[in-house]
Amino acid sequence: MKKELVAVVLAAGSGKRFWPFRHDKNLFPMLGKTYFDFTVRDTLPKEISSVVLIVSEKNAAQFAKTEFGIPCTRVVQKEGDGMSDAIVAARDALQGKSILVIIADDVSDPLMFRRVLDTAGKRVFGVLPAYRTRTYFPGGYIAFSGQRPIGIVEKPGEGKEPSAFVYFGGQYIEDADTLLDALLAAKTDRDDVYERALTALMKSHDFAVVPQDEPFVSLKNPWHVLDVTDYLLHHRLIPGQGKRVDIHNNVVIEGDVYLGNNVRIFENTKIVGPVYIGDNTIIGNNNIIRDSYIGADCVTGFNTDITRSYIGDHCWFHSNYVGDSVLEGNVSMGSGSVLANLRLDEGEIYSVVRKEKVHTHRTKLGAMIARDVRIGVNVSIMPGVKIGSGSMIGAGVTLDADLSEQSFCVAVKNGYDVKKNTKTVTIPAARNAYKSKI
C-alpha cells in the first residue's frame, strides 16, 4: 500500500426493517458498549489514517460525538440515496487515497480486516471478504472465473447464485479515484450501483477474495440482535467482575461470565456463560440465566429463566421464562408470563416485516419487545411476536400477533361467567393425611 488508507464507514442504514426497536441499530447497547464499537471502533486496523463516517439524516445527531482517535470527516447520506451516493458525496476526503469500506451493520472476526490488508499487500487492486452461504441470503454474490472474481450479482434469487460466496463489510480498494469514476459511470436509479461498479472494475483490475467459512453476522432485522448477541458473547466477552459484587449462598457460575459493578445474585441461582450482566442488576433467588446479555439496573426477581436472550437496561421480571427473545429496555413482566420460543409443530417461525411475511430461518425465536412495555401476569406471547414501545398487555392474554406502538391489549370482557356456588367449602380431612405422609 503506497497511498494513505482511509476507512469509509457506512452507518446510514435506515433501520426500517429493525422495527419495533427504537435505538439506532448501530448504537444498540452491547456488552457495556454499542454495537458500533464492536463492528468499527474496536476493530479499525492501525494502518487507517483517517475515517469518513457516513451517517443518515436520522442518526447524524446520535453519531455527532463519535470519535476514532484519528481525523474523521462526517458525511450525511440523504434519504433515498444509496451507498454509492454516499461514497461519492465523500469524494473530497478520498481523492488520492486507498480505502477500506466498512459496513457498520456487519460484525465478523476482528482479524478479517487484517487478512484483507495482508492480501491487499500482494499487488491486487481490490479485496473482498466473503463468506460461504449455506442457504440463500439476499446479498451480493461473487461470480468467479476459476479463482478470479469477475463480478458481483446483487440478490440473484434462490437457485440463481453464481457461487456460494456473498461479500460483506471490509472491502479494500487500492485507488479511491478509480472507484469514484466507476461509481459515477454505473449510476442508475437501482440500488446495486456499488456492486455494478465493482463488477465493471473487475474487468480491468485484479481483485482477490478473502473467504470465511463461518457466516458473518449483520444487524438488519430485530431477531438479528440475537445472532449479534450470541456472536459477541462467544467472541468478544471479557469475563470478570466489577466492584461490590454480592453473590449469595449456593450460586453456581459456569463458563465465561462478566458481572458489572454492584451486581447481586441471590441464593440457588445458576449462571451458565457466556453471560454478561450490567451494573446494578439484581439476579433473584432460584433463577437460571444462560447464554444471555442482561443490561444495567435490571431485576430478575424470583424463579426466572432467561435463555439465549438480549435484555436491555431497566427490565424487571418475576417468575418468567424468556427464551430467544430481545427486550430493548424498561420492559416489565408480571409473574407467570412466558415468551414462548417454539411452535407446537417445531417449524420455522415467520415474521412480518414491512407488511411482508419473511423467513427468520429460526425454529427457536421468542418475542421482540421495544422499550417501555408493561406485561401483566400469566401472559403468553407467541413465538416471533413484535411489540411496539409504550404498549401494555393485560393479565392472561395470549398474544399471537404484532402490537403497534402505544397499544393497550386486554383480555376481552366476559372472559368468565359468575354463577351461584351451591357447594360448601370446608377444610378437607384429606389434608391431614398429606401432612402425616410427608
Q: Please report, as residue ranges, which positions from 396 to 415 form the binding site for its own copies (by CB under 8 A).
A: 396-400, 403, 406-412, 414-415
Q: Which is nearer to its own copies, 171 or 325 (CB)?
A: 325
Single residue of 277, 340, 349, 367 touching its own copies by CB under 8 A: 340
- Give the residue ranges of DSSP H helices in 344-385: none
Strand, coil or helix: what is 193?
Answer: helix
List the one residue out of 260, 374, 387, 389 whose CA is nearest residue 317: 374
Q: Is 431 in the site for its own copies (CB under 8 A)?
A: yes
Single residue of 64, 238, 427, 433 touching its own copies by CB under 8 A: 427
Cα Rg for the chain, rounded, in angstroms? 25
Q: Is 425 in the site for its own copies (CB under 8 A)?
A: yes
Give the range of 98-106, 122-130, 225-233, 388-396 binding its own copies by CB under 8 A.
388-396
Burial 7-26 (b: 16+ CB within 10 A, else e): bbbbbbbebebbbbbbbbbb
CA distance 294 to 180: 43
Single residue of 64, 238, 430, 433 touching its own copies by CB under 8 A: 430
Task: Output the smallest distance, CB 57 to its own copies, in A.
Answer: 27
Q: How far is CA 157 from CA 144, 169, 429, in A?
A: 17, 21, 71
Give the range of 45-53, 134-142, 156-164, 281-289 binding its own copies by CB under 8 A.
281-289
Single residue of 286, 350, 352, 361 touching its own copies by CB under 8 A: 286
Positions 312 through 331 that interact with its own copies (CB under 8 A): 314, 316, 318-319, 321, 330
Task: Output the smallest distance, CB 27 to its own copies, in A.
Answer: 19
Give the range of 35-43, 202-210, 234-242, 427-435 binding its own copies by CB under 8 A.
427-435
Q: Is 292 in the site for its own copies (CB under 8 A)?
A: no
Single residue of 62, 73, 261, 363 touching its own copies by CB under 8 A: 363
Cross-strand bridge partners of residue 316: 299, 332
Name the helix (H) or strand (E) containing 402: none
CA 130 to chain centroid, in Å, comes to 20
Q: Is 352 in the site for its own copies (CB under 8 A)?
A: no
Q: Is 421 in the site for its own copies (CB under 8 A)?
A: yes
Q: Is 345 in the site for its own copies (CB under 8 A)?
A: yes
Q: Is 360 in the site for its own copies (CB under 8 A)?
A: no
Task: Output the smallest distance, CB 416 to its own copies, in A.
Answer: 5
**Residue 213, amino acid:** D
Residue 362: other Cβ atoms inside 10 A: 18
CA 412 to chain centroid, in Å, comes to 35
Q: Is 434 in the site for its own copies (CB under 8 A)?
A: yes
DSSP letter string over 279-311?
TT-EE-TT-EEES-EE-SS-B--SS-EEES-EE
Task: Output the smallest distance, CB 197 to its own copies, in A.
Answer: 43
Positions 146 through 205 that interact with its own copies (CB under 8 A): none
Strand, coil or helix: what is 247?
Answer: strand
List the one residue out of 322, 320, 328 whose CA is nearest residue 308: 322
Task: Output the smallest distance, CB 395 to its own copies, in A.
Answer: 4
C-alpha cell at 428: 378437607
CA distance 308 to 251: 20
Name the helix (H) or strand (E) containing 415: none
Positions 219 through 258 that interact with its own copies (CB under 8 A): 248-250, 252
Q: Is 145 in the site for its own copies (CB under 8 A)?
A: no
Task: Output the smallest distance, CB 377 to its own copies, in A.
Answer: 4
Q: Which is nearer to its own copies, 108 or 389 (CB)?
A: 389
**Total residues binding its own copies (CB under 8 A):** 84
